[in-house]
Amino acid sequence: MILPPRFACDVMLGSMAKWLRMLGIDTFYDNQAADADLKRLCLEEKRILLTKDRALHDSMPVGTSRLVGAVHLRAQLEEIVRVFRLDRFDLPPRCSACNGELETISKEQAKDRVPPYVFLTQERFQRCAQCRKLYWPGTHLKRIAERIVKIRKACE
Ligand SMILES: [Zn+2]
Quote the ligand 1 centre to 105 CA distance (angstroms).
14
Rounded Cα distance between 154 and 105, Å, is: 33
CB 21 within 8 Å of CB 34? no
Q: What is the pLDDT of residue 142?
A: 62
Quote the ligand 1 centre to 52 CA distance (angstroms).
25
Quote the ligand 1 centre to 127 CA distance (angstroms).
8
Q: What is the pLDDT of residue 141?
A: 59
One-letter amino acid for residue 70 of the chain = A
Quote the ligand 1 centre to 59 CA distance (angstroms).
31
pTM: predicted TM-score of the whole model, two decimal places: 0.86
Q: What is the pLDDT of residue 138?
A: 62
Q: What is the pLDDT of residue 54?
A: 97
Q: What is the pLDDT of residue 153?
A: 74
Which stretches of the chain score pLDDT less than 70?
Answer: 138-145, 155-156
CA end-to-end distance (rounded Å), the chain: 21
Rounded Cα distance between 86 and 118, Å, is: 32
